[in-house]
A and B are shown apart, each in its own frame.
Chain A
Amino acid sequence: MNEVSQQARRGPSQRNVEIGVALVTGLLGAVTMIGSWQVGIGWGVEGPRAGFFPFYVGLIIAGCSLVNVVKAASETPVGDLFADYGQLGSVMSVMIPTAIYVAVIPYTGIYAASIVLIAVFMKWLGRYGIALTLAISIGVPVSIFLMFEKWFLVSLPKGPIEDLLGL
């Protein structure tokens, strides 16, 4: 973080992100309380009911989140950045391909998606040559296939390509 000089850095402030996170956890606490309420939060004759513990867990989450909102608003130094846009850009360059990867697995199966993911990373972020990229991006999923499906008999999601190949 220190390599970048203070003037050049722009990005979301730590303060806003902290407040945002605390609000989200507070919401989570509220949802937990509602869910617990639905199954009963009382203390029956035979000890606590199904919602008893989760309800108070939700209450503590909500309460502490409130404290965290106040603390974030009052105590976080104003100049602090969560991360600058350049850093967030690099994070996104992993997050977005991974999100797409995760989203397409149910349709293409895990093997085809993995080949593309590894190839994209190597070509785009690593700037490797075609030969090496192809070798690794195909080699890794194939060895995973052999290891899981053939050796350990664990079935992983497959798509139309595997069906076509009769695997």
Chain B
Amino acid sequence: MEDVVNLFHGFAVVLQPFNLAVMVLGIVLGVIIGVLPGLGGANGIAILLPLTFSMSPTSAIIMLSCIYWGALFGGAITSVLFNIPGEPWSVATTFDGHPMAQQGRAGEALTAAFTSSFVGALFAVIVITLVAPLVALFALKFGPAEKFSVFFLAFCSFIGMGKEPPFKTLVSMMIGFALAAVGLDSVTGQLRLTFGFTDFLNGFDFLIAVIGLFGIGEILLTMEEGLAFKGKAVAINPRVVWQTWLELPRYWMTSLRSCLIGCWMGISPAGATPASFMSYGIAKRISKRGFNFGKGEIEGVVAPETAAHAAGTAALLPMLSLGVPGSPTAAVLLGGLLIWGLQPGPLLFVEQKDFVWGLIASMYIGNLVGLIIVLTMVPLFAAILRIPFSVIAPVILVICAIGAYTVHNSTFDVVMMLVFGIVGYVMKKCDYPLAPMVLAIVLGDKAEEAFRQSLLASQGHLAVFWSNGLVGSIMALGLISLFWPLIQGAWSRMRARPAS
């Protein structure tokens, strides 16, 4: 009960006019940061951190967390409109969001994305409010073996889902793994696959690959099809938000499932990226309209967005209660906490009640304010697609180049972006799926690292992946979802047999 009192006290803090103003400013800045691929949430917060040094810690964290919400909302905008995911967890949003935009349903896709983000984040905040101490204990259970099992589950629930030829899917995914391996091997500290080129030292960053494969590749495909976005002629409908909302409750099951996946991934902390892919993969298998995923199915936007934002929000909990950042953005926020003299850790909830509950209250209100702001702008965003291609295309190219450059401040990366763009175009034309490659680039080295850390700890015994109930059941879940089509087929044959 004491917590509820604290929470209401937190609301009172957040609703002070100065804090509300800071909140709106934070969200608008965040949306801008999310839209420009060169400024991800982590970068944006790092850059704006000094601005907040003169504020009280509570106002400062409200502003920074609102930038974070804004960036989360903003990331969906470019994914839907231009097929350019600004953050790894927006990749799965492009699968159905961009086809919807091409069909002239950009407003619908954006409304679904924003609303789902809100639902996911809200669910996670409620979880944080109710069970924060328990959840922190759960996070402690995740050692290297458990982490690997989570990555394994993410891969298993995602692969084998496409209609593309299996050997092409395999090639695509393995190339992703190979690219993820380039650079420093974090376990032995050796350089590998660099062939002596200093430009390869950094490895291939996810962002450069997706900007090229998805963003540039899309422009090239559009050119081939004759110089026009297909959704161009569609009228801007100010009531699109309401109409989409009427449709959304139909997907409550998908939402709930995605919320749970997201919270789990965020707390464990595997992060928002596996959450979004896993949620998309599972939704596709379970949904009745799964066959149509990837062609503009609204459920395919709801699933990854809900999970990603539930995870992104839940990831703040291990940061506050354990001092472990669940995401790069959380890592920068962590640095901010230290500068304000707040020590994240088990005692933060006891010693800094004002701050913690102020932050949690700001999550509720910040999310709501953010949702209202972005929803009012939906028709405006959708109108961007009306700008003629010959104007918007070079502007997108420039923004892509900036995005690729800012990852490592390297012009070599801009060249790589174009290379990835051409690769993306050719692969798409030859029916190679791009998503498995991107998934492997994002998670490949992390999965390998966790695998090898586990083996170091077990002195080379593979049995470590079945050594306790937690890791064993996640691995089993992974195997089940990998062979799900076979299991499903066997099941339906068994049911068909008695009938016939």
Q: Classify A-B as touching or not with yes or no (CB < 8 A).
A: yes
- Residue-by-residue, is A52-73 near B (CB-CB < 8 Å gives 1, otherwise 0)? 0110011011001101100100
A93 touching B192, Cβ below 8 Å? no
A53 touching B411, Cβ below 8 Å? no
B170 contacts A by Cβ under 8 Å? yes
A154 touching B406, Cβ below 8 Å? yes
Candidate in A21, A45, A141 with the most chain B CB atoms within 10 angstroms? A21
Task: Say whether, besides A32-B193, A90-B227, A117-B397, A64 and B181 are in contact (CB < 8 Å).
Answer: no
A153 contacts B by Cβ under 8 Å? yes
- Please give, as numbers and ranges, the residues of chain A lying within 8 Å of B165 by CB-CB distance: 68, 71
Shortest C-beta distance, B295 to chain A (Å), equals: 17
A53 touching B177, Cβ below 8 Å? yes
Shortest C-beta distance, A84 to chain B (Å), equals: 10
The answer for the CA separation of A18 and B53 in the assembled complex, in Å, is 57
Shortest C-beta distance, B279 to chain A (Å), equals: 26
A110 touching B405, Cβ below 8 Å? yes
| Count of chain A residues with a beta carbon within 8 Å of a chain B beta carbon | 71
Q: Which of B96-104, B217-225, B465-473 contacts A (4 or more CB under 8 A)?
A: B217-225
A156 touching B402, Cβ below 8 Å? yes
B459 contacts A by Cβ under 8 Å? yes
Number of A-B residue pairs at CB separation under 8 A = 181
B459 touching A136, Cβ below 8 Å? no
Task: Say whether, besides A49-B188, A68-B167, A136-B391, A118 and B398 are in contact (CB < 8 Å).
Answer: yes
Contact of A117 among B36, B394, B405, B415 (CB under 8 A): B394
A46 contacts B by Cβ under 8 Å? yes
Considering only CB atoms, which chain B residue lies closest to A17 in the complex?
B430
B39 contacts A by Cβ under 8 Å? yes
B18 contacts A by Cβ under 8 Å? no
Q: Which of B312-320, B366-374, B421-429 contacts A (4 or more CB under 8 A)?
A: B421-429
B140 contacts A by Cβ under 8 Å? no
A54 touching B171, Cβ below 8 Å? no
B405 touching A156, Cβ below 8 Å? yes
- Please give, as numbers and ranges, the residues of chain B lying within 8 Å of A82 by CB-CB distance: 429
- Please give, as numbers and ranges, the residues of chain A lying within 8 Å of B394 by CB-CB distance: 114, 117-118, 120-122
A129 contacts B by Cβ under 8 Å? no
B405 touching A157, Cβ below 8 Å? yes
- Residue-by-residue, is B207-228 near A (CB-CB < 8 Å gives 1, otherwise 0)? 0000000001001100111110
The answer for the CA separation of A43 and B461 in the assembled complex, in Å, is 12
The answer for the CA separation of A38 and B193 in the assembled complex, in Å, is 8
B36 touching A147, Cβ below 8 Å? yes
B390 contacts A by Cβ under 8 Å? yes
The answer for the CA separation of A152 and B49 in the assembled complex, in Å, is 11
A50 contacts B by Cβ under 8 Å? yes
- Please give, as numbers and ranges, the residues of chain A lying within 8 Å of B460 by CB-CB distance: 43, 45-47
| Count of chain B residues with a beta carbon within 8 Å of a chain A beta carbon | 69
- Please give, as numbers and ranges, the residues of chain A lying within 8 Å of B401 by CB-CB distance: 101-102, 105, 110, 114
Considering only CB atoms, which chain A residue lies closest to B32 in the complex?
A147
B195 touching A35, Cβ below 8 Å? yes
Task: Say whether, besides A39-B185, A118-B394, A156-B406, A47 and B452 are in contact (CB < 8 Å).
Answer: yes
B174 contacts A by Cβ under 8 Å? yes
B414 touching A105, Cβ below 8 Å? yes
- Please give, as numbers and ranges, the residues of chain B lying within 8 Å of A22 by CB-CB distance: 171
Candidate in B170, B193, B194 with the most chain A CB atoms within 10 angstroms? B193
The answer for the CA separation of A102 and B185 in the assembled complex, in Å, is 30
- Please give, as numbers and ranges, the residues of chain B lying within 8 Å of A39 by CB-CB distance: 185, 190-192
The answer for the CA separation of A71 and B167 in the assembled complex, in Å, is 10
B133 contacts A by Cβ under 8 Å? no
- Please give, as numbers and ranges, the residues of chain B lying within 8 Å of A18 by CB-CB distance: 430
Task: Say whether, besides A32-B193, A152-B44, A46 and B227 are in contact (CB < 8 Å).
Answer: no
A54 touching B181, Cβ below 8 Å? yes
Considering only CB atoms, which chain B residue lies closest to A1 in the complex?
B225
Which residues in chain A, 107-147, are within 8 Å of chain B measured between CB atoms? 110, 114, 117-118, 120-122, 125-126, 128, 136, 140-141, 144, 147
B4 contacts A by Cβ under 8 Å? no
B38 touching A35, Cβ below 8 Å? no
Contact of B398 among A71, A117, A128 (CB under 8 A): A117
* B residues in contact (CB < 8 Å) with A: 32-33, 36, 38-39, 43-44, 47-48, 165, 167-168, 170-171, 174-175, 177-178, 181, 185, 187-188, 190-195, 216, 219-220, 223-227, 388, 390-391, 393-395, 397-399, 401-402, 405-406, 409, 411, 414-415, 417-418, 421-422, 425-427, 429-430, 432, 448, 452, 455-456, 459-460
* A residues in contact (CB < 8 Å) with B: 1, 14, 17-18, 21-22, 25, 28-29, 32, 35-36, 38-39, 43, 45-51, 53-54, 57-58, 60-61, 64-65, 67-68, 71, 82-83, 87-88, 90-91, 93-95, 98-99, 101-103, 105-106, 110, 114, 117-118, 120-122, 125-126, 128, 136, 140-141, 144, 147-148, 152-157
Known: A98-B421, A117-B397, A155-B409. 10 other contacts (CB 8 A): A32-B181, A54-B178, A90-B226, A91-B224, A105-B401, A105-B414, A114-B394, A121-B390, A141-B398, A154-B38
